[in-house]
């Protein structure tokens, strides 16, 4: 596939493609990924054989296990989609597949596969498969098979159950390193059969974390059913039917999953779910659709634009929702969601800075639970700070079920410290815009105080200069080397400290009791707030008056210029061509740094400063991170640079649907890019401002978007907003108290 | 043991100690290590049982094997000292050991152990063991046992042979990480018996690198001897004797080793060595002593000082010689020699900067072979540079049998790049002082050109400043963080470039043919030398006129001061208390950086500048590296700061003999400290200048050294030099053409 290829057909509410070639398989499986936030499955056809036991993945949010001391991997769960088809005694895997199509509905999350099987004797069989992860009950997955012998009659078998022999293939942080070591986590398999299926449970090797996956089936017509059996670690039911030519055999399968994280014994829980529900695909799909409707009521953006654009926007929103652990306050969203094992399934600043705005404005309960993950790992961040011999709370660059550092490349894990301020920024913005003061007072304030304390200790006071330097850091531009006084990190950390001071001041005035409790809990010393205020005045920031230019860091202007076209001619990141150590001495950016700061804190810069920064940094930014395009689109739209905005917006929006970085196949869905595209559209093109109170927009819609309608949550109230190319903006309050209530019932 | 304890008795030509307690075992085994440069053995008593198969180590110079892709460990070789004693049927390991003593002779490298064995029935047996690695034939090790039943008569057995079941316990670079993973390298054991012993051969698991170790025995009196047998991977001979009370049984054992690196089939080679020699300990020892005499003729320093000081100086020299791969141009000296597996047996700048001056001035053939190791890995350094996307040759921070990077901690392996200039410095000084122009012209010049080319590309030219910055480096002070324009690295790299330019100029004039060949071989472009000259003029070096102070690097003066007594009260390095990331923001040094530069290039600084640097840096240097003391002693002696010089000299000199850093037990002999102590004595106290021609000294001997006599090689000639406290210096040429000739015969 070529970058920018137009291969996936994008309709307003679904995507589809034709073909089932081996060389597009990984790509299709990435793009057609499905999930409901509790679990995510790659878009593999349930009955297609896998090259190895780590190829098909089903991940549960927050379910990690150790692969080394202190280092976890997101665990590949027993595969409840496991299915095999046999036609007249022959495994379908030995037959030719033709006329293959697959699709994914964003409206309901349902995937479908259609294909024809042909054997050597000319027998043709039509197969249709359907699958979704229920949003009504997020521990349920439903599958349906419809099989029709087109030009013969014969005996068909469908073998379906749970494959408990799945493995992990942990992926190194270092993108240059191959992954070759399979890890088998699952041990102590136990099987509880039912007449129409069964429940398999297993435990992870080290931490004995338990999982359970059960299934039951319901077949149409005169099918016979064998007692479920085990083959190795695969447990399955064999269904057999003798079919006439043209007769369609329909088999519905209900899967119920559960794990130790649910707080109950997993196996009985899965068994109970099977008892309480029936393998009736239509009924399950209907219940699921009702919940999705309640989600889309606030999450959707309705565009007067091309079908492709409309569909792509919904696809991005669907994938964000599919990977978000709604209501689970001990998990977050991985850099590849629940859709790929890249980055060991870890959480980065991607969540708070790139994805959270979408949830904050449209599904605020999910936004709150994402921030609660940070509150719940605050003690880990305090312990991490202690291990780094620094005070306060230091959030890790990569975290998983604990807040402890999962990043194994020293320079990033040690030096890319801005994540702590990014989290504080998200806490502040969430509380400000949602109006959720209760969250701020009870949880957010403590995060702000501990992180402000961290920053004060992390800066180095230089007495001769009477200045605080931020030494040995890396900003968002990871090509910058370990440097000092990175403007992004300095400004965000000051924002963090200022938020802490404001919050303490407000609490002191409005809730003196709570203020005292916080001071006591954090053992806040009298001089600390004075110290913080001192730091706010005395950081080192480089501004070149002559060029009206904010300079990225202490060494940036000492770097050598690079002849960019001379060293790259593909979309492949430059670190495939040049060593990181060399790259860091060129004056090029991997992704925006000063512009990123201006995207987050636009109120701190004049339009002219942002324009100077754009003119200086944009031409030397390589966009070697998928985090880059959406933020450039946002800033370009705000600057009304229409051509640039369009170029960047399309790259962010179609990141995976058009394989912009040529890595969707081997890395999965880029969740930060999904969120960044959403921000570019809503905060860039539609010009929504990030202020409390009723939404206010300054639309700058491009030619290809005539109008956009979306829903925004502000200060406890939902608003429907419509903007158009003419620059008008209509805002109307939604009277219904909570349009997400049907969704929230099940969370 | 306490630091600075006086527990090892140090005599002018030997060291000894009493006791055989378990808690001092590792320490004794480190201090009493023996070697001949081909092999090194820790000072374990041959008949003492080991807690695990990696505890006793025998290392061969340059014999590595992979433990991970690209990463090697020095291989623990089959243990040819393996011995067990049985008295009246009882293993000696079950009996009580009393009156234990052990000693090591620096004159001959012979170790001895004396102890008494007592059983429950009051039977007392005197045991004496002797061992040395022959310097006459460096593939031979000889052992002698003398066993006397003191108050009984009975049957004694001595079981002796080769243990081929030894393992490695690779040690992580990260000193905070434990080592728990035993690696068994040896496979494909094969045994060739002889009537009085045999030859065991084995191959390493991955690279199939072969080793062989054979033995034969000769016993006094009426001993019977069993045919050699195998028990697991241990091959041994059992000798039995019935002894009367007071009768001494003497058993001599000759071991012969060989390996793939010798260029012959190892097993036949070991067998041949056994055939050509006899298990006659006295004769072997005599031959060995003759060679040592030839070494000591130039290596010794004769002091009019305390016996302890004299012995310690000789001990340091002995250990340097014991680990140096004399004549082997494909190996160097590890940071713990052949005496411990710390740092995976790798080679650092320790060799060129700390140890090489000793060899250069006293055993120049060994110095040349050490530099040839760098020449022979030049292509690896060129390939390493290519992998770092930089031109020329980049030597690795840690290397082993190849020149590829063995350092697994990113910041050091990537940023502590001064090693490349250190090697060039050593090449230049060796050629200048030894007068070995042939080496320089044929090998050194190519090293200088490729490394100069590296430096030019490694610097970053900043056009607005018209300056070359050296960005993202760490100097010798590893507590400094990743910073810029480290003075040590900038000045040493300029020295490197200047050496290359001088050498090219000289060749062009003196040997135009060779000059052309070099230009062609290195594909040297016409502009390169002009570029190098431009760089020499335009680097960034920080000098504070007001304080007459050379500043370490770009960030040093921004670092926070640290209340040193407040955070440490032991000799334990501070990184055990504070995280590295925190340490790098304190204005403290792990080891000298600017002072190190002034130790190497004293001619580039005024006395006043060196004094300012001492006053500024010395009080904030933590000496958390064993490389620190000797260099401080050298600079202090040159500054005639007698009290400080003494303090530092004693710490360097007695590093292992008095366990100054409390890590000799678990880390082995600190080879760089040995060399630094020698430099402090010869270049500091004795005031030898590093100039070509007849040696010239400005003695500054302390009170405790009345005179010192040593030998120096300059410009192809050996000189005997005597200096005394009165400041006089006598220099006399040695007429004998090569005082090392007996030694060199066997190399």
Q: What is the pLDDT of residues B360-379, one digit of tens each?
A: 999 999 999 999 999 999 99
Identify whether the C-beta of residue B320 lies closer than 8 Å to the C-beta of residue B176.
no
Chain B residues inside the 8 Å CB shell of A484: 555, 558
Angle between helix A628-638 and helix A642-653 axes, rounded to 10 deg:
150
- At residue B345, does pLDDT exceed 60? yes
Q: Check A390 against B582: CB less than 8 A apart.
A: yes
pTM, to two decimals: 0.94
A721: pLDDT strictly greater than 90: yes
Nearest-10 crossing angle of helices A364-376, A378-387: 40
Q: What is the per-residue pLDDT for A227?
A: 85
Q: How far is B3 from chain A (nearest CA, A)?
A: 27
> What DSSP designation does B44 have?
-
Both tokens of A680, joined, read 């570019």
- ∠ CA A626-A627-A628, nearest 5°, is 90
Q: Collect all residues of chain A within an 8 Å Cβ-Cβ radius of residue B481.
A: 471-472, 482
Question: Average pLDDT in the B343-354 region?
Answer: 98
Q: Which residues of A touch B469 (CB under 8 A)?
A: 555, 558
Hey, are the CB atoms on B390 and A582 less than 8 Å from each other?
yes
Q: Which residue of B has its CA nearest to A480?
A: B472
As a whole number, mean pLDDT of residues B480-497 equals 97
Query: Please, what is the end-to-end C-alpha distance for chain A in angstroms?
Result: 39
pLDDT digits (tens, 9 = 90+) for B673-714: 999 999 999 999 999 999 999 999 999 999 999 999 999 999
* B472 to A482: CB separation less than 8 angstroms, yes or no: yes
Share of chain A above pLDDT 90, in %: 92
Alpha carbon distance B12, A50 (integer Å): 73
pLDDT tens digits for range A8-60: 999 999 999 999 999 999 999 999 999 999 999 999 999 999 999 999 999 99
The pLDDT of residue B14 is above 90: yes
Number of residues in chain A: 747
Q: Is the pLDDT score of B514 beyond 90?
A: yes
Classify each residue of A689-710 as buried b or exposed e, where b means 16 or more C-beta atoms within 10 Å of its C-beta.
Answer: ebeeeebebebbbbeebebbbb
Q: Which residue of B has its CA nearest to A574?
A: B389
CA A458/CA A489 separation, integer angstroms = 11
Measured between CA atoms, the residue of chain A closest to residue B386 is A579
Q: Are A495 and A487 in contact (CB under 8 A)?
A: no
Cβ neighbours of B584 in A, within 8 Å: 471-472
pLDDT at B316: 98
A4-18, A676-690, B295-309, B654-668: the lowest-pLDDT one: A4-18
> pLDDT tens digits, residue range A81-126?
999 999 999 999 999 999 999 999 999 999 999 999 999 999 999 9
pLDDT at A5: 57
Q: Do B558 and A462 touch (CB under 8 A)?
A: yes
User: Both tokens of residue A436?
Assistant: 């959720």
Q: Where are the beta strands (DSSP E) in B491-603?
A: 543-544, 549-550
CA A446, A449, A452: angle at the middle one, nearest 5? 145
Q: Which of A395-409, B210-224, B730-744 has the highest average model confidence (pLDDT)?
A: A395-409
By 3-state DSSP, what share of chain B in percent is helix, strand and coil, each rounded to 5? 35, 25, 35
Beta strands (DSSP E) in B446-573 are 460-462, 467-469, 543-544, 549-550
Q: What is the mean pLDDT of residues B584-609?
A: 97
**Best interface-test mutation with B: which of A386, A558, A578 has the largest number of B CBs within 10 A?**
A558
pLDDT tens track for B187-211: 999 999 999 999 999 999 999 999 9
Closest Cα in chain B, distance from residue A554 (Å): 10
pLDDT greater than 90 at residue B554: yes
Average of per-residue pLDDT across A147-168: 96
CA atoms of A312 and A657, how far apart (whole Å): 8
The full DSSP string for A686-722 is: S-B---SSS--B-----TTEEEEEEEEEETTEEEEEE
A583: closest chain B residue by CA: B389
Kindly list the residues from chain B whose CB atom is less than 8 angstroms away from the CB atom of residue A582.
388-390
Closest to A555 (Cβ–Cβ): which among B471, B579, B585? B471
Residue range A426-441: mean pLDDT, rounded: 98
Compute chain A's Rg from CA coordinates. Answer: 26
User: Given an 8 Å threshold on Cβ–Cβ distance, is A389 in contact with B578?
Assistant: yes
Question: A558, B584: Cβ pair inside 8 Å?
Answer: no
**pLDDT at res. A226:** 84
* Whether residue B608 has pLDDT greater than 70: yes
Contact residues, chain B, for A584 at CB < 8 Å: 471-472
What is the rounded CA–CA span in Å between residue B295 and residue B303? 17
* Chain B residues in contact with chain A using a Cβ-Cβ cutoff of 8 Å: 387-390, 409-411, 414, 460-462, 464-465, 469, 471-472, 481-484, 554-555, 557-560, 578-579, 581-585
CB contact under 8 Å between A581 and B414, yes or no, is: yes
Average pLDDT, chain A: 95
Of B464, B557, B585, the CB nearest to A472: B585
User: Which tokens is A187 given?
Assistant: 């041990």
Least confident range from A731-745, B78-92, B342-356, B575-589: namely A731-745
pLDDT score recorded for residue B747:
77
Q: Is B370 exposed, middle or buried (0-12, 13-18, 19+ CB in 10 A)?
A: buried
Residue B5 — very low, low, confident or very high, per pLDDT cuts 50/70/90? low
The residue in chain B having the minimum alpha-carbon distance to the alpha carbon of residue A540 is B558
- Taking only the tens place, the pLDDT of each residue in B84-126 is 999 999 999 999 999 999 999 999 999 999 999 999 999 999 9
Residues of A within 8 A of B68 (CB-CB) are none
Minimal C-alpha gap between A463 and chain B (Å): 8
Query: In chain A, which residue's Cα lies nearest the Cα of B388?
Result: A579
Q: Is the pLDDT of residue A652 over 80?
A: yes
Average pLDDT, chain B: 95
Distance from CA of residue A307 to its chain's centroid?
24
Q: How far apart are CA A481 and CA A581, in angstroms?
A: 8
pLDDT of residue B329: 98
B460–A581 C-beta distance less than 8 A: no
In sequence order, the 6+-apart residues with CB closer than 8 A to the CB of A453 are A391, A392, A393, A522, A524, A528
Average pLDDT over residues A207-211: 97
pLDDT tens for each residue of B152-167 = 999 999 999 999 999 9
Nearest CB to B579; choose among A388, A472, A554: A388
Query: Which residue out of B389, B540, B559 would a mutagenesis test of the A interface target, given it has the greatest number of A Cβ atoms within 10 Å?
Result: B389
Cα separation, A379 vs A392, in Å, equals 10
The band of B1, judged by pLDDT with boundaries at 50, 70 and 90, is very low
Residue B2 has pLDDT above 60, yes or no: no
CA distance A279 to chain B (A): 50
Residue B383 contacts residue B445 (beta carbons within 8 Å): no
Cβ of A471 within 8 Å of Cβ of B481? The answer is yes
Among candidate residues A81, A30, A25, the one with its CA nearest the CA of residue A671: A30
> Is the pLDDT reported for residue B333 higher than 90?
yes
CB B557 within 8 A of CB B551: yes
**Cross-chain residue pair B584–A471, CB shorter than 8 Å:** yes
pLDDT reported for residue A485: 98
Residue A158 has pLDDT above 80, yes or no: yes
Query: Across the interface, do B581 and A462 touch by the CB < 8 Å criterion?
Result: no
Reported as a single tens digit per residue, the pLDDT across B174-189 is: 777 777 789 999 999 9
Element (H, E) at B111: strand B111-118
A359, A370 in Cβ contact below 8 A?
yes
What are the start-end ranges of the H helices in A181-280? 266-276
Task: State the smallest CA–CA distance between residue B485 and chain A in angstroms.
Answer: 11
Estimate the crossing angle of helix B607-617 against helix B628-638, to 10 degrees: 140
pLDDT tens column, A251-308: 999 999 999 999 999 999 999 999 999 999 999 999 999 999 999 999 999 999 999 9
What gap in Å lies between CA B476 and CA B488, rounded to an integer?
Answer: 8
């Amino acid at each position: 596939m070529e970058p920018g290829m137009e291969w996936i057909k994008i309709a307003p509410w679904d995507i589809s493609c034709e073909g089932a070639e081996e060389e597009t398989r990984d790509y299709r499986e990435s793009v057609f990924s499905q999930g409901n936030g509790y679990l995510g499955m790659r878009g593999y056809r349930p009955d297609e054989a896998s090259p190895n036991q780590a190829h098909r993945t089903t991940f549960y949010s927050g379910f990690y296990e150790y692969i080394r001391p202190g280092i976890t991997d997101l665990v590949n769960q027993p595969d409840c989609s496991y299915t095999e088809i046999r036609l007249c005694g022959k495994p379908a895997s030995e037959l030719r597949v033709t006329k293959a199509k697959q699709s994914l509905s964003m409206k309901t999350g349902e995937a479908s596969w259609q294909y024809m099987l042909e054997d050597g004797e000319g027998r043709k069989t039509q197969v249709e498969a359907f699958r979704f992860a229920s949003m009504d009950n997020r521990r349920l997955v439903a599958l349906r098979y419809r099989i029709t012998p087109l030009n013969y009659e014969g005996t068909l078998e469908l073998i379906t159950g749970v494959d408990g022999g799945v493995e992990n293939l942990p992926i190194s942080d270092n993108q240059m390193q191959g992954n070759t070591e399979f890890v088998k986590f699952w041990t102590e398999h136990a099987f509880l059969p039912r007449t129409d299926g069964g429940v398999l449970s297993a435990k992870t090797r080290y931490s004995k974390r338990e999982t359970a996956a059960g299934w039951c089936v319901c077949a149409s017509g005169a099918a016979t059913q064998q007692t479920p059996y085990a083959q190795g670690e695969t447990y399955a039911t064999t269904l057999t039917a003798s079919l006439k030519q043209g007769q369609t055999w329909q088999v519905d399968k209900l899967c119920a999953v559960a794990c130790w994280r649910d707080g109950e014994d997993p196996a009985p829980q899965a068994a109970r779910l099977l008892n309480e529900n029936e393998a009736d695909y239509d009924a399950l799909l209907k219940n699921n659709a009702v919940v999705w409707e309640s989600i889309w009521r606030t999450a959707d953006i309705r565009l007067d634009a091309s079908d492709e654009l409309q569909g792509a926007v919904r696809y991005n929103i669907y994938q964000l929702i599919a990977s978000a652990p709604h209501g689970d306050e001990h998990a977050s969203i991985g850099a590849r969601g629940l859709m790929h094992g890249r980055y060991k399934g870890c959480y980065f600043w991607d969540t708070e800075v790139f994805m959270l705005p979408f949830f904050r404005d449209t599904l605020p309960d999910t936004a709150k639970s994402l921030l609660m993950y940070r509150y719940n790992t605050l003690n880990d961040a305090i312990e991490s700070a202690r291990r780094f011999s620094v005070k306060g709370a230091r959030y890790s660059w990569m975290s998983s079920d604990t807040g402890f550092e999962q990043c194994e490349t020293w320079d990033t894990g040690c030096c890319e410290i801005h994540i702590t301020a990014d989290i504080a920024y998200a806490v502040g913005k969430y509380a400000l815009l949602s109006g959720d003061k209760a969250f701020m007072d009870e949880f957010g304030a403590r995060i702000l105080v501990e992180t402000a304390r961290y920053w004060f200790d992390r800066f180095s006071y230089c007495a001769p200069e009477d200045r605080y330097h931020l030494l040995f850091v890396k900003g968002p531009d990871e090509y910058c080397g370990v440097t000092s006084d990175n403007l992004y990190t300095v400004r965000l950390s000051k924002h963090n400290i200022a938020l802490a001071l404001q919050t303490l001041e407000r609490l002191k005035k409005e809730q003196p009791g709570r203020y005292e409790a916080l001071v006591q809990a954090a053992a806040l010393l009298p001089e600390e707030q004075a110290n913080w205020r001192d730091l706010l005045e005395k950081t080192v920031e480089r501004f070149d008056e002559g060029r009206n230019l904010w300079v990225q860091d202490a060494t940036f202007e000492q770097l050598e210029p690079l002849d960019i076209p001379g060293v790259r001619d593909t979309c492949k990141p430059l670190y495939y061509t040049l060593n990181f150590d060399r790259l860091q001495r060129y004056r090029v950016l991997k992704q925006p740094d000063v512009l990123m700061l201006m995207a987050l804190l636009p109120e701190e810069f004049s339009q002219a400063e942002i324009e100077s920064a754009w003119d200086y940094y944009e031409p030397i930014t390589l966009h070697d991170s998928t985090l880059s395009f959406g933020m450039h689109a946002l800033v370009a739209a705000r600057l009304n640079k229409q051509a640039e905005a369009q170029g960047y917006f399309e790259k962010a929006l179609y990141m995976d649907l058009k394989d912009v970085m040529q890595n969707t196949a081997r890395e999965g869905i880029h969740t930060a890019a999904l969120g960044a595209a959403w921000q570019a559209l809503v905060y860039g093109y539609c010009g929504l401002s990030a202020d409390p109170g009723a939404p206010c927009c300054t639309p700058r819609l491009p030619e290809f978007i005539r109008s956009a309608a979306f829903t925004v949550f502000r200060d406890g109230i939902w608003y429907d907003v419509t903007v158009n190319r003419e620059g008008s903006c209509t805002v109307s309050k939604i009277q219904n108290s909570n349009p997400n209530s049907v969704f929230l019932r099940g969370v």
